[in-house]
Amino acid sequence: MYNAGGFLFMDTKFSGQKFVRDSSWLRRNDDSDHIGLQVYISGRNRCENGGTDFVLDTNGVYAVNLGYEVDASCSDAEVLSIILPRDRVIADLPALGEARGLIFDGDTTSGKLLSGFFHLLRTTMPGTSASDAPVLTESLMGLLRALVTAGDPSSMEAQSGVLTALQRYIDQNLGDPGLGVERICAHFRMSRATLYRILKTQGGVRDYIQRRRLMLVFKALAAPGNIERGVFDIALEYGFVNAGHFSTRFRDHFGMSPSEAREAARSHAMHGNVLFKGGDESGLSDVEIMQRWSRELGATSRRAAPVTS
């Protein structure tokens, strides 16, 4: 194993064995969540990595994401590995952040270039001095940036797919008061650090869940079929368990109380208008939905205004 400063290079040969990195291991080592890129010279490894099943063999360059659970059974094998620190990946190669499985097919130009770099490291590392480490790191990162920019690795799609899957799971379980970091990590078999990283752009895990709950309560309050239902009865369906806490969070988020939102929706319905018309707001952000809601309320108020002479 060689430490090049910006990455580790490992040249390994071993007999068949099993690798396990389970949820308890992740909890004890939450900061050890690097990305491993591997080229197999010989052997095969059947791996489950955070719910993704794949086989590592001699036909490409593969990623093993240490931010997720790993359960793998490997034959006798000879493997070249590059271990990239998570912070370096986030800074320079965010598209690789959620990579798992095959990222470059061995028959593609990108796969051949990157695999060739692994073999070049294997021959040059033993005679390389510490002063050459920065050159090696920049060469590797430059090559990876070029290949990722070319659009070859499946990890770019995987990153978006993981976020979409997280958002879908959260929306499907908003009514569960126990929905939180532990429940989500257990379902997706990922570390807390990985979950925090993926939802960082959404304001964080707790904030995201609360915003989704509040938005769905707001939409339910505006639905004609719910006009006569109690406000907190609706809130209970979306995981709120304390009426005072719910009211405070609702006002902080929307600038009005739940009762005021209900009365506005009731007034709107009295004039034959229906807000949130069953899916036509899909794809809109919460802010865009609220802006549209406000515009439609304003239009209703103008139509309802008395005519004076």
pLDDT in tens, the chain (309 residues): 999 989 999 999 999 999 999 988 888 887 778 999 999 999 999 999 988 899 999 999 999 999 899 999 999 999 999 999 988 888 888 878 888 999 998 988 889 999 999 999 999 999 998 899 999 999 999 999 888 877 544 444 455 567 888 888 998 898 888 899 999 988 888 888 888 888 888 888 989 998 898 888 888 887 777 777 888 888 888 888 888 888 898 888 888 888 888 787 777 666 555 555 544 444 445 555 655 555 555 554 444 444 443
- DSSP, collapsed to helix, strand or coil, labels residue 5 as coil
Token pair in block for residue 134: 């920065």
Distance of alpha carbon 276 from alpha carbon 262, whole angstroms: 14
287: number of CA atoms within 13 Å, CB side? 0
Amino acid at 215: M
Q: Shortest CA distance to 293 belongs to which of 270, 273, 271?
A: 273
Asked whether the beta carbons of 58 and 42 are under 8 A apart, the reply is: yes
Which position has the token pair 């990595």? Answer: 49
Whole-prediction pTM: 0.62
Strand segments, DSSP code E, in the chain are: 2-3, 8-14, 17-21, 35-42, 45-49, 52-56, 60-65, 70-74, 77-84, 101-105
Residues in the chain, how many? 309
Other Cβ atoms closer than 10 A to 210: 18
